[in-house]
Structure 1
Amino acid sequence: MSIDTTSFASTIATIQDRYHAQSLARAKNAFAGHEMRVLHSDGVYRHLRFATPGTGMFRFDIHTAPGLLTLTGDIGTFVFSRVRDMLSFFHDPTDTNVTYWAQKLLAPSGLQVNEYDEHVLRASLATLVDELTEHWTGESRAGLTGALELDVWGADDSHDLTVRALMEFQWTDPVTGETIEFPDAYELPMRSYGTQFLLACHGLRAASLHYVATVGGVDFSG
């Protein structure tokens, strides 16, 4: 069959997302010059390539078969399974449904696409500290914050060492005499979806929207 090529730029530029705006902005930048090449299309058996001419940066290929979609390329390898025509699964005009799509991963597992995120851990710890010190003075809270910055966040930026420093942390408020500790710090939320997986999800969503709009023939019957 002949190879059909269409510009992907207008599709990726116009999609929106209420929950992953930052990663979507990265995806729009990464895929801005991409074209879609239909290398094979026979029912739900497809091979689609998304790439900017002259470079392999952020290139990705999509292979579909009944009940299966595989994404490979410069943004990683991910295998999903949910419905017979998997292009329909990612066809969402409103949002990139990252959490639900991660549940349908065959490889890597949904847990493996989560990475340590210091921002998430800081937010989790801040919520816990607010609960533990709600009766403290502003000066006492400032003292605790300074100690955490020095002994925990200033110790190391690796996951294991940061969590260990947090579990070993102790600070006593000179006003109340209360000692703050975090022996169960490892239970705090501290992970978020990795950059490659988020790029892949945005790419898959835009790819589905673009393919339906320019080629069609996607089965939405489930």
Structure 2
Amino acid sequence: MSAMDPGEELRRDVAAARARFAEEGGGATTTVLRNDGPYRHVRFDFPRASWRWCEVVTWPDVLVLRGDLGVWSFGRPGDGLEGFRLPGGEAGRVDPARWAERLVSGGPGAALRYCAARAAAYVRAAVTAGAERHEGLAEEAEEFFFGARAGTDLSTEKGLLEAVGRFEERHADVYEGFRFPVETWEPHRYDPGFLLACVMLPWAVAEYDAAASAVSRVA
């Protein structure tokens, strides 16, 4: 997987989340605690999973998933469940990027986490491109960013920006015109808990629909 292809990386991460849910989600139970029009409270227990439980709560324009996968609040006009109903279990329609836009608290950024491996890949790609014009750049940058005595910290976004800034300032005269195009970088990946929530929510809605339909038929 290339850290330089965020789209492909996301597809693979979603596939991994689907595989994890399929492996661990078996034997789950669904309990409808409230079913009053748009006001719902549904609990799910997962006896075989590394996450033990979660619940979906809805009221007009809002759906909240909370539990061992974190707390994710989605805003959508009307019925909060409707946006996660995927007819026929169309897994290909799981869309973390679009669904992150609906997050009430923190917006899309709340679903992202800084990825040091992706940041390092961006640094190396920029150096490789620049080395075609600047002799010695590749060796100098490798030692500066990744050498045994490197004084850089790429484990945080702040550390990444400070490191590339120091390198550019220190070597401005030697490698004239070279800079890291940080404004084009995307050093974040979707939080694994958010991706698992995106995979689980269509399943949870289908489970609720089946339970509510069964109660309706009995009534």
TM-score calculated relative to the size of structure 1: 0.69
2:101 maps to 1:103: yes
| Segment drifting more, 48-57 vs 203-212 | 48-57
CA distance in 1, matches of 2:11, 2:69: 23
Provide, for residues 20-62 of structure 1, a one-character-per-residue CA deviation record: whole Å limited to 9, x for no partner.
2223334445534422212222333221111125999441110
Q: Return the offset for 1:134.
A: 4.1
> Residues 53-202 of structure 1: matches in 2 within 5 Å?
53=47, 57-92=51-86, 93=90, 94-134=92-132, 141=138, 144-150=141-147, 155=153, 157-169=155-167, 178=175, 182=179, 185=182, 188-202=185-199
Q: Return the offset for 1:106.
A: 1.0
CA distance in 1, matches of 2:204, 2:116: 31
| Segment drifting more, 29-38 vs 95-104 | 29-38
Provide, for residues 116-163 of structure 1, a one-character-per-residue CA deviation record: whole Å limited to 9, x for no partner.
1113323333443343234578x9746644543227696452332233
Aligned twin of 1:11: none
Letter of the structure 1 residue corresponding to residue 74 of structure 2 = F
CA distance in 1, matches of 2:129, 2:74: 40
Q: Return the offset for 1:190.
A: 1.0
Change (3 A) 1:130 1:23: farther
- How many pairs does the alignment contain? 196
Provide, for residues 175-217 of structure 1, a one-character-per-residue CA deviation record: whole Å limited to 9, x for no partner.
xx64685466476321122122222222212212333455459
Give the SS at the match of 2:35.
strand
Bigger fraction of residues in helix: 2
Structure 2 spans left out of the alignment, 5+ residues:
1-9, 215-219
User: Pairwise CA RMSD of aligned residues?
Assistant: 3.5
Structure 1 spans left out of the alignment, 5+ residues:
1-16, 218-222
Match for 1:206 among 195, 198, 203? Answer: 203
Letter of the structure 1 residue corresponding to residue 95 of structure 2 = N
Aligned twin of 1:10: none
Change (3 A) 1:32 1:108: farther
State the identity %: 23
Provide, for residues 59-105 of structure 1, a one-character-per-residue CA deviation record: whole Å limited to 9, x for no partner.
11101122211112122112112142222201231232101111111
CA distance in 1, matches of 2:49, 2:117: 33
Letter of the structure 1 residue corresponding to residue 121 of structure 2 = A
Change (3 A) 1:200 1:152: farther
Aligned twin of 2:35: 41
CA distance in 1, matches of 2:44, 2:128: 47
Letter of the structure 1 residue corresponding to residue 65 of structure 2 = L
Whether the 8 Å CA contact 1:125–1:188 is kept in 2: the answer is no
| Segment drifting more, 56-65 vs 139-148 | 139-148
